[in-house]
Amino acid sequence: MAVERITYQAGSVTANGALVYDPSVSGRRPLLLVSPNWLGMTDESIERAETMAGSKYVAFLADMYGDGKIANGPPEAGPLANGLREDAPERRRRITAALDTLRRESDSRGIGDLTRQAAAGFCFGGGNVLELARSGADVQAVICLHGDLLTSMPARPGDIKAAVCIMHGSNDPVVPKKDRDAVEAELEASGAKWQMLVFGGLLHSFCEPESNVPGIGAYDAGAARQCFAMIDDFATAAFDKKL
């Protein structure tokens, strides 16, 4: 897999994301924007983007903090992520800039199909791609995996163009059921096409083996396998207008 580090302007920061694709595949492929968890541009997040891209997608891993920053654990990640959670306009500017970079860089290389675009994010990154959807981004699918669900700028009727899929653990202590109820009400009121799959008994971060925290997040191999398959299935159905 090719992993090209790309510098781009994202809101108030200069970001350093990663364009990920299989150089042995010819022709244009669908675009997949990937937003990592609150630790940022870690080796694990890049490896996950490589797996998600495979031979089917051109992926871009969004740098939400600037300079490709990696947080050294939750004590450092918390303030970085919370600063953007509390500033929805800046959060939207940064994730939108990542999408624009994916479009531009994949098109310039002749490998990106700009008619098929999806975004997926994990935890904090899931909140980022939901903000992308709320902003009215012209993508077909947005997938949020055990992500932030609430926002200070809820979608209004007609705002969301993408089909939205949320995958969440029923016992997630970070983003509890009241948040699921709130985002359901928001999505219903907005008129969006949306789905939610709740995995019984699971905590936070169940798709990421490096994110185990006792009582808070726990990896679940079966659910992770199902979620990664569903990312492709949901995006493909959205591209083909079969949702």
pLDDT digits (tens, 9 = 90+) for 7-22: 999 999 999 999 999 9
Q: Which amino acid does the sequence have at 220?
A: D
Domains identified in the chain, total number? 1
Asked whether the whole model's pTM tops 0.85, one would answer yes
| Distant-in-sequence contacts of 111-116, Cβ < 8 A, 24+ apart | 111/21, 111/25, 111/27, 111/28, 111/29, 111/58, 112/28, 112/29, 112/31, 112/58, 113/28, 113/29, 113/30, 113/31, 114/31, 116/30, 116/31, 116/140, 116/239
Instruction: Give the domain range for residue 183.
Output: 2-239
CATH number at residue 185: 3.40.50.1820
pLDDT band at 95; cut points 50, 70, 90 = very high
- DSSP assignment of 125-155: HHHHHHHHHHTT-S-SEEEEES-----SSPP
Residue 53's SS3 state is: helix
- Tell me the pLDDT tens digit for each residue of 145-185: 999 999 999 999 999 999 999 999 999 999 999 999 999 99
pLDDT number for residue 193: 98
**Residue matched to tokens 């699921």:** 180
Identify whether the C-beta of residue 33 lies closer than 8 Å to the C-beta of residue 114.
no
pLDDT at 211 over 90: no
- Tell me the pLDDT tens digit for each residue of 44-86: 999 999 999 999 999 999 999 999 999 999 999 999 999 999 9
Beta bridge partners of 121: 35, 144
